[in-house]
Structure 1
C-alpha cells in the first residue's frame, strides 16, 4: 500500500472518529461534563460535538481532506484548553481525557502534515493560455449579425430585435 493511500486511510479513520465523538458529545453532554469535572459546561461540550460532526463529514465528503484535518488540529487545541480548566477540580477525569486528546492531537498533526506535504508536491495547473472562447474576438465579431428571429416565434413585435431594414 502506498504511503499516500495510508495517509488518506488515516484521514478517513479520523473522520469517522470525529463523527462518533461528536455524536457522544451531542447526546450525553451532561454525563461527559460530570465525568470530566466540567459541570456547567454542557452547552460548550454539545457545541464541540457539533464541530466534531461537521469536521468528520467534511473529511469524509471532500476529495482533499487536508483543510478539514487541520480543522481537527485547531479543534484539538480548543479541547485541550477546555480540559485544562478541569484539571484542578476534584474527581474529574480531565487528566485522563487530556492525555487521550493529546495522543489524538499528535495523530491529527502527523496526518495533516503528511497530507500538506503531498499537496505541495502536486504540480500547479496553469490556465493562463486559456480564454474560454472558440475563436478570437476578431473572428467572432459580427457572427450573429445576420440572425433573424423567425416570424412563427411567439414574440411580441415590441420585443423583436430592431433592424435597420424596417
Structure 2
C-alpha cells in the first residue's frame, strides 16, 4: 500500500514543482490562462500560491514517506478552488455590466476549464492522501466461530488436517486438492462461476493449530486458522475457526457473499455445526431445523455423508 501511494505522491510532487515554478516566473500568464484578473493583486496571490506549491514539492520529493504530505496539497487545492470560484463570479458580474461580453465570456470559460482541472487534481490528491493514511483501504472481513466437539483432540485435528475433508462441511467449497505437504488447491462457487486459488499452510502445531493463506497472486485473497483446545471440564475438543477475506469496497462484499451466502458469519457457524455432526455421528443430519445457511442450492448439492474414523 505505502509503496504505491508514495510513488503517486512523488508524481504529485513533480506537478507541484512545475506549477509552482510557472506561478512564480509568469504569474500574469497563469492568471490569464486561468481566467483570473491579471491585476497586481492577483499576481501577488499567484506568486504566493507558487511558493506554496514549491513547499509541497520539497516535502513530497524530499521525504522518505511522502504520502502523508499530500494532505498539504489537498488544503492548497481548496484555496485554489475558492479563488477560481470567485473569479467565475466576478466574470459573470462584469459581463452583465459592460459591453465586452465576448472577452468576459472567454475568460469565464477559461475559469471553468481551470476549475475542472483543479477539481480533478483535488480528487487525485485526496485519494492519495486517504490511501497513504490507510483511510481509503477497506479492512479485511474477519469471520470467527467456535464449537465444542465430543471427540478427542487428536482425532478432530487429524480430520481437519486432511484438507480434502473440508468440502464435506464447508458448503461454499467445491473441492480442496492437496498438491504438496503444505500446499493445496481450492475451488469454490461464486455466483454461477467456479473460482480457484492456491493456498499454503503457514503454521502448524500438531493437535493445536493449522494456519493457512492463499498464495500471492491468487484470485481470492484469503487466510484462515483453526485452533484446537481441550473442551470444558476436559471433555471433547473446542474448535476455534477464523477466516479473513481481503479486498476493497463492494468487490470484497460481493465475493464473500457469493461464496458464503448472504450472511457469511452465520454460514461459518453452520459450517462448524456440520463439522460437529460429522465428527460425532459420521454424517450431516438433514432436518427441518438443520442449519444449512441461506442458500437453497447448498441443500440441493449436499454431498453424501461418509463414515469417519471407522464409525458407521
User: Could you tell me the TM-score, scaled by structure 1's length?
Assistant: 0.66
Q: Which has the larger radius of gyration?
A: 2
C-alpha distance in structure 2 between counterparts of 1:57 and 1:27, whole Å: 18
Please tell me the root mean square deviation across aligned C-alpha atoms, in Å: 1.7
Q: Higher relative contact order by CA 8 Å / sep ≥ 6: 1 or 2?
A: 1
Secondary structure at 1:87's aligned position in 2? helix
Would you say 1:105 and 2:122 are equivalent positions? yes
C-alpha distance in 1 between matches for 2:43 and 2:51: 13
In 2, Cα distance between equivalents of 1:100 and 1:108: 12
Q: CA deviation at 1:68?
A: 1.9
- 2:113 & 2:57 partners in 1: Cα distance? 23
Q: Which stretches of structure 1, 4 residues or longer, exceed 4 Å deviation after superposition?
A: none
- Which residue number corresponds to residue 45 of structure 2? 44
- The 8 Å contact of residues 2 and 67 in structure 2, kept in 1 or not, is answered as no
Could you tell me how far 1:5 is from its partner in structure 2?
Answer: 1.9
Of 5, 8, 11, the residue aligned with 1:10 is 8
What is the DSSP-based 3-state SS (H/G/I as helix, E as strand, rest coil) of the residue aligned with 2:134?
Answer: helix
How far is the alpha carbon of 1:23 from its aligned partner? 0.5
User: C-alpha offsets along residues 61-96 of structure 1, whole Å, 9 cap, x if unaligned?
Assistant: 112224421000000000000011111312321110
Q: CA deviation at 1:113?
A: 0.3
Question: In the comparison of the two structures, how many residue pairs are matched?
Answer: 117
Bigger fraction of residues in strand: 2
Contact conserved, 2:5 with 2:67, CA < 8 A, in 1? no
Which residues of structure 1 form unaligned runs of 5+?
A: 119-166
Counterparts of 1:114 and 1:27 in 2: how far apart (Å)? 33
Give how far 1:6 is off: 1.8
Q: Matched residues in 2 for 1:33 and 1:42: separation?
A: 7
Task: Give 1:54's aligned residue.
Answer: 55
| Residue equivalent to 1:71 | 72
Deviation at 1:4, TM superposition (A): 2.8
Which blocks of at least 5 consecutive residues in structure 2 are unaligned? 92-103, 136-312
C-alpha separation between the residues in 2 aligned to 1:23 and 1:98? 20
CA contact (8 A) 2:13 2:60 kept: yes
Higher helix share: 1
